[in-house]
Amino acid sequence: MDVSINKKKDFIWNVLGLTINAFNSLFFLIIVNRINGEFAGGVFTYAYSLICLFYIIGLFYTRTYQVSDVSGKYKNKDYIVSRAISCVMMFIITVITVMIFQYDTTKSIVIILLCLYRLIEAFADVFLGILQKEGFLYKAGFSLFIKGIVALILFMIVDYVTKDMILSCVTIVFVNLVLFLLYDLKNTRKYIGKEYSFHNAISILKNSFPVFVFSFLNIYLINSTKYILDFVSDATLQNIYGIILMPGTVLSLCAQYIINPYIVPLTDLFKRKKYNEFRRTLLKIIAVICFLGILCIIGAYILGIPVLNLIYGIELSKYKTDLLIIILGSIFVALIAVISSGLTILNKNYIQMYIYIFSSILSTVLGIVLINQFKVLGASLTYLIVMFVQFIITYIYYNRFIKKIEGVKVK
């Protein structure tokens, strides 16, 4: 097959797969709100955000290491065993969390089912990594796309017919399991092999640990306000906050599409020690995101609430200020992602981990104070303040470091 055609297929299916995978939670929440009501929407949005955190445990971010490993030290079966270990940890931690916090029966069942849904997804990811490494990235993208579409359609049909959110969640667990067996496993079986080393599987987890911690804290930081809000309010307010947070999440995800094409060129500039050009390129990306962010704030001010009212069928007019605060906070989230990408290229991952630890503590403390006092507005303000502080700290460190390697004296 022509290489350029193969690369085009890789790009198209990878983008489609990642997009549907990223936005499925948005569509699930719309369906639950429309069919099951606001309270059920609140239960679902909290359960999904909690499992998004535990999903990172399942992934353990070994795939980056998997597809970039050229040493030949680890076999595909080693990566599968390491992922099986992390997925078991994901399930155990989910069950322990449900037992500790003693959620009501419905919330507990939904959390466990969504855990199984995303656990299968996390386990399948290592098989998609095998496909990517073997030169079939488009098959991995197609897998994400077809699983996302089929799960969404069946979830909507089952929920519409039965009005049962739990049965709908059972359906998407079944979909993920069947498609994993019929597609992912079938396409990778010949590349797996029989031999593996448990020692190697543990070694893979150790090598991926810093990236795992960084990613885990990132997800916690984004969702920490949801977790705190769950302790001080009912599911209805949780649902409202989840709805107004969603446009901000979409903005942050869209920023990734802007950043990703620049990763390789920026890496090349760093390797060639063109630090000044590296810095100017990053500033251009920041400028583009700021411009798009301003447009989003204007759009949210004019159309945000009417559009959300229409989509979710809920009256949200009194939350207009909260929405604008969230959008502003999301601009800083996108900017943090840009600077973080730059620091990762500059091999400064540990400092980012320390910054995320500080930001997570700040978010928890500030969130408890503000959310307890102001509920949804408190959650929105916490989100904005923490993201702004993290951006400032991250940018100051990045700016000092890039000037240092450029040979410019920093005052």
pLDDT tens-digit readout, 322-364: 999 999 999 999 999 899 888 888 878 788 889 999 999 999 9
If asked whether residues 263 and 168 sit together in one domain, one would say: no
Residue 266 lies in a domain: yes
Number of domains in the chain: 2
If asked whether residues 383 and 297 sit together in one domain, one would say: yes
Domain boundary among 137, 162, 196: 196
Residue 264 lies in a domain: yes
Task: Supply the pLDDT for residue 409.
Answer: 46
Q: Is the dihedral of CA 314, 315, 318, 321 positive or negative?
A: positive
Q: What is the pLDDT of residues 65-111, one digit of tens each?
A: 787 776 778 999 999 999 999 999 999 999 999 999 999 999 999 99
Residue 203 lies in a domain: no
Which is nearest to 149 in space by CA: 123, 183, 116?
183
If asked whether residues 319 and 405 sit together in one domain, one would say: yes
| Spatial CB neighbours of 334, under 8 Å, sequence gap ≥ 6 | 251, 252, 254, 255, 289, 293
Give the HSE-up count for residue 125: Cα atoms under 13 Å, Cβ half-sphere. Answer: 26
Average pLDDT over residues 195-222: 90
Residue 87 lies in a domain: yes
- Which carries the bigger pLDDT value, residue 254 or residue 125? 125
Residue 1 lies in a domain: yes
Residue 400 lies in a domain: yes
* 4 confidence band (pLDDT: 50, 70, 90): low
Domain boundary among 196, 231, 260: 196
Average pLDDT over residues 313-327: 94
If asked whether residues 143 and 234 sit together in one domain, one would say: no
If asked whether residues 340 and 255 sit together in one domain, one would say: yes
Q: How far apart are CA 102 and CA 110, in angstroms?
A: 13
90: domain range? 1-196
Q: What is the pLDDT of residues 42-61, one digit of tens each?
A: 999 999 999 999 999 999 98
If asked whether residues 246 and 177 sit together in one domain, one would say: no
* 158 confidence band (pLDDT: 50, 70, 90): very high
Residue 202 lies in a domain: no
What is the average pLDDT score of the chain?
91
| pLDDT cut 90: percent of the chain above it | 68
If asked whether residues 173 and 265 sit together in one domain, one would say: no
Residue 213 lies in a domain: no
If asked whether residues 148 and 254 sit together in one domain, one would say: no
Q: How far apart are CA 327 and CA 306, in angstroms?
A: 16
Q: What is the pLDDT of residues 216-259, one digit of tens each?
A: 998 999 899 999 999 888 889 999 999 999 888 888 777 777 88
Which is nearest to 66 in space by CA: 184, 176, 200?
200
If asked whether residues 164 and 286 sit together in one domain, one would say: no
If asked whether residues 268 and 191 sit together in one domain, one would say: no
Domain boundary among 196, 226, 259: 196
Task: Supply the pLDDT for residue 5.
Answer: 61
Task: Supply the pLDDT for residue 410.
Answer: 43
Q: How far apart are CA 7 and CA 269, in angstroms?
A: 23
If asked whether residues 37 and 164 sit together in one domain, one would say: yes
If asked whether residues 17 and 77 sit together in one domain, one would say: yes
Q: Residue 350 is encoded by which pair of tokens?
A: 């540990």
Distance set, CA 5 to CA 13, 161, 174, 285 (Å): 12, 43, 34, 29
Average pLDDT over residues 114-143: 94
Q: What is the pTM of this model?
A: 0.89
Find the range with the poorest average confidence among 114-128, 178-192, 226-240, 322-336: 226-240
